[in-house]
Each structure stands twice: as structure tokens, then as C-alpha cells.
Amino acid sequence: MNQDLTRDQAMAPSMMPRDAAGSRRQSRAAGNPLLRVEPGSDLWVAAARMLLFLSVLAGGWHVLRPGTLNITISDIAFVGCFGIMVATGRLSGAPFGGITSLWFLAVAMLLGGLFLSTAVNGDLSRWLVVGAQYSFSLCLIPMLLNSYPVEQTSRLPLIYCIGTLLSELVGILAINLFSYGQTSALLGTKFITGSERLGALAGEANWNGAVIAFSAPMLIYSLHKKLIGWFPALLCGGILAWGLLLSASFTGFSATLLSTSVTLVLVGWRQMVRLALVVGLAGALFVASGAPLPATFEKRVAGAITSGDLNQAGTFAGRAELIKEAWTMAEDTTLVGLGVDRFREESLHGAPVHQLYLLIWTEGGFIAFLGLLSILGVLVLLTFNAVRIDRAAGAMAAGVLVVFLIYTNTSAHMYARLWLMPVMVALSTVYGGRWAGSGHDRR
């Protein structure tokens, strides 16, 4: 009997499916199997993938969150996926390969400078909140996305575009069917503003313009890679364009034009000529139809473009005053800054400067400022290398990074996933799975 039992035990591994047996060996090698989820489970793999897709789909839906907490549907789905990847041993600790250490050092400098300045001059509880938000966006997002192989991450730009499309559809329907009072009671005062600017699910008109600007290079990439056909791509592009006009964001409009141009130039002249012809034809048909532009767009954006007076572009003058004030403050914050969220307290205008470089310098000092520059430098380096590896994906990454860099000059702290998720999604189409462990399967 004992011999039969021994023989059965010896045969058991060979009777298992090869993938399951290999996965279990990896699980035992990595640690106590009782504390880990079985890596070979198709259910867990599929659940993690669906949560990842949901996180990217809702990446621009900042309005859907509980109260004033900066926790969105996208964040919840992301944490669920992250937890499964950790439990199954699939998470990559080196999202950017050999320069991962440089990336984490840059993040540490940013957070360290803010911590030191806040410890001296501010409230450390505020640093804990801001530090956690930056850590989530700058560390956890690239670690998770680049744990997946390119075969899967290549779909993420299209999923992000679909999320933006749904956001704009909801906003366009709401602005035509409901009053400001009705939408503000349910989704807040910035979903659709009193002047009928569309914030959509991004939750703010300028943010909506940014989400659309991020989506434009991704749509071109999806079309180039044949993830979407010409007709649905044009339909999607038309809805995004109308949402952009309704947002009446000068920065969003400029960023969209520039990111689209950069992407098309890098993708190649054939794609550029085709799309230019199609867009030109669509524009000619729109003009011929006699359809009016949204009044808010004509007032805020078209007026500033035709006159060359940026003061017509919303709050440009007010932001310029804050920048002047920040330059004055920066003279006294070279070594130690004011601390997190202290700029608004010290400012005569009672608001943070909408220029990320100056805000980090004044609140975190030179160490934090150098950390920010290093982060941006690594992103630029990764993008240049991406163009060399995969021209279409690199072109998209360049277009998306251009949008991000534009908004660093018009925004305060940019730890919201709305800003960094698109950048990491674009880069993951090149670097996804590149430095993941060899034992990870590609499902």
C-alpha cells in the first residue's frame, strides 16, 4: 500500500497540466504558498486583466469619486489589479530596466525635498497625503503597467480613447438635455459650468481638454496599428473634437493640435497626408453646413487666436500674476521650501501658482525641483528610445508627453492619475513586459 501511495505521489506532477505545475513551483520558490494566490489560476489572471482595463478606461473620469477624496473608480480598479499581481508574483519591480534606479532616485528627491521643507515650515500630515499620491502615480502605475507584455499593453491606448469617448458622449448629451442646475446637483458645478463649458467626466473643463489632448495621439496609434478601422476612428475623432470645442480650453486646444502634429510627423508622412486629407474634408463639410461653433469656444479660444490677445483665454492674466509672485518667493526658498500646500497661504492671491516647476521650487526647495527635472528627463529619454524601438508607439508616447509638458506650465501639483496614467500607458506599449521575470506567462 505504501508503495502504491509513493507511486501515485510520484506520478501526480506529471499528470498536472505543465503550466499549472510550473506555476506552483514558482509560487513555492517565491515564498509560503499558503500566503499566495496560485499564479496559474486563469480566473485570477483574467480578473487582474479586467481590472487593469477598467482602470485605464476610467483613467480620465476624475468626477466619479466620493466627495472631495482624490480616489476614483480608476484608482480602486488599479489597486485591485495591483493586489492580484503582487499575490501571484507577477509584478515587475524594474519597470524601466536599467534606469529604474534613476527613476526612483528622482522620485525620492522630489518627495524628500517636499518632506524636508514641510517638516521645517509646514504640516507633515499634508505631506503624507501629497507624498502618497505622487508615489502612487510615479511608482505603482509604471510598475503595474510594465508588468504586462506588449501584446496586452498595446490595447490600452484604444481603451483609454474609448473611456474619453464615453466621457464626452455623456457630457454632450447632458449639455443638450439638462440644465446647469440639474447637472450640478448630481455631478458638481464643474461637470458643466455656468458658462456652459464642458468638464465631462474629467470634472473640469481644462482637465477635459487635457484628456482629449492625451487621447488624440492614442487614437492615431490605434488607427495605425489597425486596432480600429477608419470609420469608427473618424466617428470617435469627431466626438472628441466636439467635446474639445465645448470645453473651450485654450490650453487643451493648443495641446491637441501640437500633440497630433508631433505624432503624425513621427509616424510618417503617408499617415500624415491621409489624416490631413480626411480632417480637411471634414472641416470643409462642417464650414459648408453653416453650423455654429459653441459660443464659449468662440469667446475664449477663437477670440484669443484671431486677436493674438491671450488675456481673452480665460484666467491667463491671473495666472501670470501668480507666476510673478512665485519668482519673488523662489529667491527665499532655494534650500528649504515653504512646505506642501503652503504657497496658497503665503500668496496675496490665496491660490497656488499654476506652474508646476515654480510650485515645486517654492514649496520643496532646490532638491525637490531637481527631482522634478530628473523625472521629466527620464521620461524624455524613454520617449526618444521608444521611437527607436517602435516608431508608431514612440510617436504616440512623444505626443502624449508633449501634452504633459504643456500642462506642467499651466497646472499646480500633478499627482492626480488623470495626468500620469496616459503617459505611462503610452510608454507601456514599448516597455511592457520588457524586464518582467522570465517565469511570468504572457496571458
What residue ranges do the domains of the chain occupy?
Answer: 33-91+100-431
Whether 440 has a pLDDT exceeding 70, the answer reads: no
- Per-residue pLDDT reduced to its tens digit, 49-107: 999 999 999 999 999 887 777 889 999 999 999 999 999 999 999 999 999 999 999 99
pLDDT at position 268:
81
Instruction: Specify which of 13-22, 267-276, 394-403 reaches the highest per-range mean pLDDT.
Output: 394-403
Contact (CB, 8 A) for 248 and 202 = no
- Give the whole-angstrom CA distance, residue 423 versus residue 407: 12
DSSP, residue by residue, 124-163: HHHHHHHHHHHHIIIIIHHHHHTTS-HHHHTTHHHHHHHH
Please count the other Cβ atoms lying within 10 Å of the Cβ belonging to residue 9.
9
pLDDT at position 441:
47
Mean pLDDT score, 326-345: 89
All cell numbers assigned to 434: 520588457
Percent share of the chain, pLDDT over 70 = 83
Residue 337's SS3 state is: coil
pLDDT at position 176:
92
Instruction: Specify which of 152-161, 289-298, 407-416 reaches the highest per-range mean pLDDT.
Output: 152-161
Whether 7 has a pLDDT exceeding 90, the answer reads: no
pLDDT at position 439:
40
* Whole-structure pTM value: 0.86
83's CB contacts (< 8 A; 6+ apart) are none
Grade residue 317 by pLDDT with cuts at 50, 70 and 90: low
Whether 18 has a pLDDT exceeding 50, the answer reads: no
Grade residue 308 by pLDDT with cuts at 50, 70 and 90: low
CA gyration radius, the chain: 24
Contact (CB, 8 A) for 318 and 269 = no
Please count the other Cβ atoms lying within 10 Å of the Cβ belonging to residue 195.
12
Whether 36 has a pLDDT exceeding 50, the answer reads: no
Grade residue 270 by pLDDT with cuts at 50, 70 and 90: confident
Using CA atoms of 172, 176, 182, 185 in order, give the dihedral in degrees to the nearest 10. Answer: 20
- Per-residue pLDDT reduced to its tens digit, 164-200: 999 999 999 999 999 888 999 888 889 999 888 999 9
Whether 40 has a pLDDT exceeding 60, the answer reads: no
C-alpha triplet 231, 234, 239: angle, nearest 5°: 130
Grade residue 309 by pLDDT with cuts at 50, 70 and 90: low
Whether 385 has a pLDDT exceeding 60, the answer reads: yes
- Per-residue pLDDT reduced to its tens digit, 196-235: 899 999 999 999 999 999 999 999 999 999 999 989 999 9
- Per-residue pLDDT reduced to its tens digit, 103-130: 999 999 999 999 999 999 988 999 999 9
CA-closest candidate to residue 266, choices 219, 212, 221: 221
Contact (CB, 8 A) for 200 and 243 = yes
pLDDT at position 297:
86
Tell me what the pLDDT averaged over the chain comes to: 86
Grade residue 241 by pLDDT with cuts at 50, 70 and 90: very high
Grade residue 434 by pLDDT with cuts at 50, 70 and 90: confident
